[in-house]
Amino acid sequence: MSEQGDVVINIENLRYKYPGKEEYALDGINLKVRRGEIVLITGRSGAGKSTLCYTLNGLVPQFFGGTIEGKVSVLGYDTTKTPVGFMSSKVGILFSEPASQLISATVEDEVAFPLENLGLSVEEINRRVEEALRFVGMLEYRDKPPYTLSGGQQQAVALATVLAMKPEIYVLDEPTSALDPIGTLLILELFKKIAKTEKKTFIIVEHKLEEFSSIVDRVVVMDKGKIVAEGSPREVLGKKAEFLKKLGLESPQVSLFIQRLKEKLGINDDETPISIEEGVEWMKKHKKIIEEHLNPPSNRIDEANTPRNVGKKIIEVRDLVHIYPTTQTVALKGVSLDVYEGEMLAIIGHNGSGKTTLVKHFNGLLKPTKGYVKVYGRDTRTTPMYELIKLVGYVFQDPDKQIFSRRVYDELAFGPRNLGYTKEEVDRIVKDVAKTFGLDKYLNSTPFSLSRGDRQKVAIASILALNPKVLVVDEPTTGQDPTDRRIIMDLMKKLNKEGKTIVFITHDMNLVAEYASRVVVLHNGVKVMEGTPREIFSRVEELKKLKLKPPSITELFIRARDELSIDLPLPLTVDEALSYFK
Amino acid sequence: MAYEYYPGTSLLHRLDPRTKIILFLYIIVLVMLIQDPVGMFTLLLIVISLYKIAGIPMSKVKSMLIALSPVIVLFVFLNIFISVPPNARIIGYLGSQPVAIESLIMGLTGGLRFTLFVFFARLLTMTTSISDLLVALTKLRMPVEAVVALGIAFSSVGVLINQLGTIKEAQMSRGSRVESRNPLVKAKALISVVVPGIYLTILRGLDIAKTVESRAFTYNPKGRTTRKTIKLTKTDYAVIIVAGMLTVIVAVVVYMFKILHYTYTFDYILSLLTA
């Protein structure tokens, strides 16, 4: 895939502790990277991936402090001693949060900033700024303030900033985690372009293993500060698919499925398909065995997801138009839909399609410009917000944008107190909800000292303290690793079984397939599709036009159905796909 | 948005930031010398006409005036208690506090003076892009670290405002009365917005530091290139000289003839009415 030369990164027996911490963030890392290699690093949150990236330009240990042992040599320089400013001229890091790494007044200034720091001539700076912005497709935005751009555009600008520096080594720390599918596609295309034209060395940290497996040379898996697996994409993602699953990571669905199918059917070949195309080829080869063992069960996942008592219509949206007054943006252009009691509804669509705008009408945060929204029969245009929040609880994406109390107890009591409950009632509610979430031992602690996962729980618990009938969850999974996502969604599922209606917005199609009973697709402020996950995901061509795609396992079966000419049902998950065979 | 830049090609836009800083100094001189509210108001009108020249919509001016009028009222009201000069003309009582004409007039001047400062300062930021301002500061020998820090601070305002908006929505969704009309209720509710806001700002500060380091800022700060340049042109010199002469003339007239003593106009009108 790429020519490789001398060793540019040489890490030996690296151990590192952040200041004031007991555990080692990096616990015995040995890694050699050659010039021109593209290396993917993956692992759960807290595995040490970002910390490892920070050692490459010296941020660890020089900026963060802490204690370091072992050797880190990048391009011949000892990064524990060489000034970070100097190392940064050779090693360009792209951080995961686009907004936090954009610090200038305009896009142009942003890309020029590092070049000014390097003391380049004005002509050279202007030339590189234009080149880099053109490369990422953001040249027309050069005079805009970065915060007015979408997440994908911001990340493209940040990438341009790193590109303009022309570093020898690119370090990209979860570059797509804050992006929607379109943003991810955009960045992925840019990487492919850079890899082809520049032949530089890349270290990429990612969870989206499927998307990136086709462009990397080597995959490194980390867990608890150690490297636990290393090899070519086929070796790690293909052969070790089961192992990755046990670690709480998400291997490509195709690999996982075929690995398990081989076991189940007793097929013993050496093939490890990791893409959909390879999967279909493999299935063609084993067409006979597949046909023999095909036995799809009669009850299926979406029937299992459909709650027994999907009942009456509780939210009614008719011809909803919403125009934001300050920017005059028409976010919703006439949307009509219903939400039924007890269902688990997923709302999907690209960034800017109007998903968040839509759901903010449910608790009264936004009022319709035209059309109406009725929640349990009450028109939101005339009902005060404090009435609506008793019915609809809105869980925001980032717990840190909500938590403010000195004790977890007060955080959980915030909602009920605002609604005017008595002291005794508040106390009862808080203790109840804390128990449900396993937070009782933290009631007197300060929320800021908890882990991110626990802070998320506090945020969700504080909404549930209002005992709403409907829970709206806005992108609960951004920036989370696959295991944390499941934990949150399983919690939602449990609440759903207890009778709460759940409306969730997500970009993760696998989650939609696994958890939703019904899906609504928005595009440019308009509803374009509606149905069960199975119905929606079978319309692959339409989804492609909307820049969405079904879970890989579903797509695999759609293609296999065509190319093998077998009447295969369409699975939504790997487990379901396996259940088709006996 | 706290730093609003209205791009344009008016005279004010084309002036070097340093010229504008000098104009600001002239205004300070005049504003300190002029005491009469009518004089102050005239100066305010002149500044507003500069807004027109700069091409800034009058709706903006109107909204600024509306926002500042409670401040002017506050100045007048508070000045009743702050100063009662000797031989003042008392027109009434607020409880036990005598209300003097002179206090009211002085308060009015104070309020208008404040308004004038705000208007002029905003005019400068509306007609000067952040990068030009920063270049001007560099040329005025401000340390490079301070200039960069200032630039980042200005740029972060938009981000912060977005963040505060999100926090406000999250708290409203839990019943917090941040949009209440009752100032006490609202103030208490705003704690739930300010605390996460501060926390996030501190976190952002760490992120910014991390980014600044990783973009090689400490590579060679003294040898840093400044990409944009500003130059004093003939127009700048002309404006500096003409405005300077006008300022001197007005200052001399006011000072020597005590024309604009703070009750000058009031007394004049009074004398006309009682003549």
In the three-class reduction of DSSP (H, G, I as helix; E, B as strand; rest coil), residue A527 is classed as strand
Domain-terminating residue out of B200, B215, B232 = B232
Which of these, A33, A32, A14, lies nearest to A24 by C-alpha position? A14
Domain shared by B116 and B146, yes or no: no
Which of these, B158, B136, B166, lies nearest to B230 by C-alpha position? B136
Domain shared by B61 and B7, yes or no: yes
pLDDT over threshold 70, residue B198: yes
- Residues A343 and A346: their CA atoms lie apart, in Å, by 10
pLDDT digits (tens, 9 = 90+) for A508-522: 888 999 999 999 999
**CA dist list (Å): B134 to A138, A264, B151, B227:** 24, 68, 7, 11
| CB contact (8 A) between residue A104 and residue B203 | no
Largest CA distance in chain B: 76
In the three-class reduction of DSSP (H, G, I as helix; E, B as strand; rest coil), residue A65 is classed as coil
Asked whether residue B102 is domain-assigned, the answer is yes
In angstroms, the separation between the Cα of residue B24 and the nearest Cα of chain A is 24
First-to-last CA distance in chain B?
52
Interface of A with B in 173-232 (CB under 8 A): none
Per-residue pLDDT at B1: 41
Domain shared by B206 and B164, yes or no: yes
Asked whether residue B133 is domain-assigned, the answer is no
Q: Averaged over A233-259, what is the pLDDT?
A: 86
Asked whether residue B15 is domain-assigned, the answer is yes
Option in B170, B193, B209 nearest A396 (CB): B170
| CB contact (8 A) between residue B171 and residue A363 | no
Domain shared by B117 and B241, yes or no: yes
Q: Which domain holds residue B185?
A: 142-232
Domain shared by B90 and B188, yes or no: no
Asked whether residue B161 is domain-assigned, the answer is yes
Q: Averaged over B167-172, what is the pLDDT?
A: 91
Encoding tokens for residue A270? 């050496």
Residue in B174, B192, B202, B219 to test binding to A, most A beta-carbons within 10 Å:
B174
In angstroms, the separation between the Cα of residue A309 and the nearest Cα of chain B is 28
- Residues A405 and B235: their CA atoms lie apart, in Å, by 56
For residue A145, list chain B residues with Cβ-Cβ distance below 8 A: 155, 158
Residue of A nearest to B145 (CA): A117
Q: Are B115 and B103 in contact (CB under 8 A)?
A: no
pLDDT over threshold 60, residue B210: yes
Asked whether residue B136 is domain-assigned, the answer is no
Q: Are A133 and A125 in contact (CB under 8 A)?
A: no
Domain shared by B92 and B71, yes or no: yes
Who's near A382: CB < 8 A, 6+ residues apart?
Answer: none
> With bands split at pLDDT 50, 70 and 90, how would you rate the model's confidence at A306?
low
Contact A467/B at CB under 8 A: no
| CB contact (8 A) between residue A105 and residue B151 | yes
Asked whether residue B91 is domain-assigned, the answer is yes
How many CB atoms neighbour CB B259 within 10 A? 15
Domain shared by B19 and B108, yes or no: yes
Who's near A7: CB < 8 A, 6+ residues apart?
Answer: A32, A33, A34, A35
| CB contact (8 A) between residue A165 and residue B207 | no
In the three-class reduction of DSSP (H, G, I as helix; E, B as strand; rest coil), residue B171 is classed as helix
For residue B176, list chain A residues with Cβ-Cβ distance below 8 A: 414, 418
Option in A119, A161, A463 nearest B224 (CB): A119
Q: How many distinct structural domains can be found in chain B?
A: 2
Buried (b) or exposed (e) across B106-130, using 16+ Cβ within 10 A? bbbbbbbbbbbeebbebbbbbbbbb
Encoding tokens for residue A435? 């128990």
Asked whether residue B134 is domain-assigned, the answer is no
Domain shared by B71 and B147, yes or no: no
Q: Averaged over A28-50, what is the pLDDT?
A: 91
Domain shared by B19 and B150, yes or no: no
ipTM of the complex: 0.83
Per-residue pLDDT at B271: 83
pLDDT digits (tens, 9 = 90+) for A372-426: 999 999 999 999 998 999 999 999 888 888 888 889 999 999 999 998 899 999 9
- Residues A135 and A142: their CA atoms lie apart, in Å, by 13
Q: What angle do CA A463, A466, A471 make, to 5 degrees?
A: 55
Domain shared by B244 and B185, yes or no: no
Q: Are B219 and A89 in contact (CB under 8 A)?
A: yes
Asked whether residue B68 is domain-assigned, the answer is yes
pLDDT over threshold 90, residue B106: no
| CB contact (8 A) between residue A466 and residue B174 | yes
pLDDT over threshold 70, residue B260: no
Q: Which residue has the higher pLDDT, B266 or B57?
A: B57
In angstroms, the separation between the Cα of residue A399 and the nearest Cα of chain B is 9
pLDDT over threshold 60, residue A301: no
- Residues B247 and A407: their CA atoms lie apart, in Å, by 59
pLDDT over threshold 50, residue A308: no
Domain shared by B120 and B60, yes or no: yes
Q: Averaged over A479-498, what is the pLDDT?
A: 86
In angstroms, the separation between the Cα of residue A418 and the nearest Cα of chain B is 5
CB-defined contacts A:B, below 8 A: 164
Per-residue pLDDT at A364: 92
Q: Which residue has the higher pLDDT, A37 or A111?
A: A111
For residue B172, list chain A residues with Cβ-Cβ distance below 8 A: 365, 385
Domain shared by B188 and B161, yes or no: yes
Option in A117, A363, A415 nearest B224 (CB): A117
Q: Averaged over B90-110, what is the pLDDT?
A: 84
Encoding tokens for residue B271? 């004398």
